[in-house]
Chains A and B, each alone.
Chain A
Amino acid sequence: MALLAVSCGGGQSTGERQAAAAPSVIQIDGSSTVFPITEAVAEEFQKKHPNVRVTVGVSGTGGGFQKFCRGETHISDASRPISKTEIAACQKAGIEYIELPVAYDGLAVVVNPKNNWANAITVAELKTLWAPDAQGKVTRWNQVRPSWPNREIHLFGAGVDSGTYDYFTEATVGKQGASRGDFTSSEDDNVLVQGIGSDELALGFMGLAYVESNKDKLKLVPVDDGKKENGDGPISPSAETVRNATYQPLSRPLFIYVARKEADRPEVQQFVEAYLGDTALMREVGYVELTPQIYDLAKAHFKERKVGTAFADGGSQVGITLEQLLAREK
């Protein structure tokens, strides 16, 4: 994963005319969750615009905003809204930005395919299992639910540097960054897939996109949030349930932030239009596209150069549905 840092230079000089002009560059950095989308869009974009070079980094959402608010990047990928401290940092540096929601991502709870008991889990059970007090105490399946076997439970999850960890702890434990520490944590989702796929007693969480591409090694566990208004009983994550906001609270919107002063460059405008217009590509890389209304709204915001964030209270927010998002963006 970490090696996928830069995607640069599609065909650079197809003609003398283009070779003569220095290629213009769009610099992007930020979330590793958003990276697959941005990278795919950038690849397509560079095929059509060979004189534009798009570089995409993966410093994580926080790392991306640090660079963005120093004016080092033009667009920042984010798997959560900009946080209060980041808003302040950007303000101090005089960096204005346009916030654009680009897609939805589901966070999946997964077990080994041989696991025949965990067919659903509640948010309360996830809290029991992952809360900081559970460390060293909740170590067997039947401690989470008495009907489950009296066998050890082996936990796997995203590393503490990732936005995925931030979001999962916020959504289940109720406090960002608060969790037990005795689990196998890795920033590399493929390590988690390998670990869970080869351990009958494993349970873990990761982005839905990774589950889609490893269906034979993992089993999805439907999650029940105990609230009737967004679907009764346990809901399995899928493009459908993430889109219609019944898979809660583990669905989250993804964003890109475009620097206001870069938005006047024609190639940046074309890139953003391509980004918000290619829903087929989002599906292809395993994400859930927003509704046409939201994309239209985002495009309108971009055209009007509407700066600032709709999430002024900042940071990870749990259980934002598309409707609420739409309302906020209006």
Chain B
Amino acid sequence: MTRRGFEVVIEWGLFLCALLSIGTTVGIIGVLTAETIGFLEEVPILEFVFGTEWTPLFAMPHFGVLPLIMGTVLVSTIAMLVALPMGLLTAIYLSEYSSEGLRRVVKPVLELLAGIPTVVYGYFALLFVTPLLQQFIPSLSGFNALGPGIVMGIMILPLVSSLAEDAMRGVPRGLREGSYALGATRMQTSLRVVVPAAFSGITAAFILAISRAIGETMIVAIAAGQQPRLTFDPTVPVETMTAYIVQISLGDTPQGTLEYRTIFAVGMLLFIGTFGLNIVSTWLRERYREEYA
């Protein structure tokens, strides 16, 4: 084979590889859309989006997805209450206070947290964190939103701290030096100069973290329960959108039935949510890159 011919083969091979992942995405979106349309032909969209009861498998089925959305929002909110402040403070420390040597040790260790399989986090929530919390909150159920929420926050923390720290380190040195020259302390510089300057990057990190929390499956499937419930009470069993999809996928629900289509409709909602958040996050990061490029 000639050299040029070889090049062409390589080029096409690479193109096909790239096409494969795009094709998969398009295929997934196609299946999601088709099945969701099939679902919405039988269930009015208003009933689906605004209904307050979710019992698709039972004799009197209701298809209101709000309890599942509420479960997801509740667990994600708790996770964010843990991950966002702690992640941001960690990022400020690593970026502005810690010595280079310490940072080199702490950052990889933090990122180790991201390497723990989520199923392990799930059992950690169910068998360690929840019983521990029950010492302080005796009325806490074995399955609840609080334990998994906290554990999910811990899991997402490295994502927040790592991305936020990158954003802060991207702030030009000159801004800090200017601040010090005006007599500002380190804390004033961190909070009033660096954090605002890196704001769009930090926001992007936050949004990515939220999107990660919404899509997280294993922790909630194991530790949050399987009971769709419209509540803000973090001490009782709830069911998230992802946990519902797991529950149905593991059962014997026959293909092609309305019950089966519910998981695609719920999957579509999840996809729209996380996709929207990811786009916003990307857009924000692009913007911050432009500022100091």
Q: How many A-B pairs fall under 8 Å by CB?
A: 88
* Contact present for A182 and B251 (CB under 8 Å): no
CB distance from A197 to the nearest CB of B (A): 7
Q: Mark A131-167, 1 if CB is under 8 A from B, else 0.
A: 0100110000000000000011011000111000000
Contacting residues of chain A (50-72) with chain B, CB-CB under 8 angstroms: 59-60, 63
* Contact present for B57 and A198 (CB under 8 Å): no
Contacting residues of chain A (188-231) with chain B, CB-CB under 8 angstroms: 191, 194-202
Write out the residue numbers on chain B whose beta carbons fall within 8 Å of the beta carbon of A136.
Answer: 53
Write out the residue numbers on chain B whose beta carbons fall within 8 Å of the beta carbon of A135.
Answer: 53, 55, 60
Chain A interface size range: 35 or more
CB distance from A320 to the nearest CB of B (A): 24
CA distance A151 to B138 in the complex (A): 13
| Interface SS majority for chain B | loop
Looking at the complex, which one of B57, B134, B225 makes contact with A184 (CB distance below 8 Å)? Answer: B225
* Contact present for B237 and A184 (CB under 8 Å): yes
CB distance from B40 to the nearest CB of A (A): 21
Write out the residue numbers on chain B whose beta carbons fall within 8 Å of the beta carbon of A199.
Answer: 141-143, 237
CA distance A175 to B59 in the complex (A): 10
User: Is A178 in the interface zone, CB < 8 Å from B?
Assistant: yes
* Contact present for B236 and A182 (CB under 8 Å): no
User: Is A311 in the interface zone, CB < 8 Å from B?
Assistant: no
Q: Do A181 and B62 form a contact, CB below 8 Å, given A159-B251, A160-B57?
A: yes
Looking at the complex, which one of B62, B142, B250, B253 makes contact with A2 (CB distance below 8 Å)? Answer: B250
Write out the residue numbers on chain A whose beta carbons fall within 8 Å of the beta carbon of B53.
Answer: 135-136, 181-182
User: Is A187 in the interface zone, CB < 8 Å from B?
Assistant: yes
* Contact present for B138 and A200 (CB under 8 Å): yes
For residue B57, which residue of chain A has the nearest CB? A160
User: Is B139 in the interface zone, CB < 8 Å from A?
Assistant: yes
A residues within 8 Å of B by Cβ?
2, 59-60, 63, 132, 135-136, 151-152, 154-155, 159-161, 175, 177-187, 191, 194-202
* A–B pairs, 16, beta carbons within 8 Å: A132-B58, A135-B55, A135-B60, A155-B227, A159-B251, A160-B58, A179-B58, A181-B57, A182-B227, A185-B57, A194-B126, A194-B142, A196-B142, A197-B142, A198-B143, A201-B139
